[in-house]
Amino acid sequence: MSSPSDRYHLTLVDAEPRGAADASECADAALLQVGDLARMTGKTVRAIHHYEELGLIEPAGRSKGHYRLFEREALVRIRWIHKLQALGLSLAEIRTLVRNRSVSGSAQQSADQLRRMYEAKLVEVRARLTELSALERELQASLAYLDSCNTTCTAELAPTDCAQCDRHPETQETDLIAGAMV
């Protein structure tokens, strides 16, 4: 978390004191509008508004034109939300995580809750990687099988003949091939 002095970067152009309105404009320039957040995160403006409605992010204020303004920390939060969704969490589950953190008795308790969830997700990701590796091998074998169709098959055979094909004795048929032939 940044300290209040890190949030706003004011550059004075001249040595004369500036008015309150000028300082406010400079502070607003350090903040991001919803469109900026959307562009920088690859999310839609509607998604950013939805995150706000769910309490996942909060605007720091509003501009003179009444646009919502967000601190740069919102970028980090939106990337975190995106990664949790990629791990399979729903926005409701993410909202529960955010709420649990805010009502947690201590930083250690909050970290322990997050750790337990991350450990469970790590087990799921590793299982999925194992499954994807097996699927990758089957896809490679299926492609090799299909590549040999270009050299062993003839144009006069109908697609229904593939189910009884005996032109691939050296290649093992995979579920991806067998399922397509039925």
Q: How far apart are CA 156 and CA 96, in angstroms?
A: 61
Q: How far apart are CA 162 and CA 148, in angstroms?
A: 13
- Cβ of 81: how many Cβ atoms within 10 Å? 23
Q: What's this model's pTM, rounded to 2 decimal places?
A: 0.68
Spans of the chain, pLDDT less than 70:
1-29, 163, 168-172
Architecture of domain 1-103: Orthogonal Bundle (1.10)
Q: How far apart are CA 122 and CA 126, in angstroms?
A: 6
Q: Where are the domains of the chain?
A: 1-103, 124-182
- Cβ of 94: how many Cβ atoms within 10 Å? 19
In this prediction, residue 15 carries a pLDDT of 36
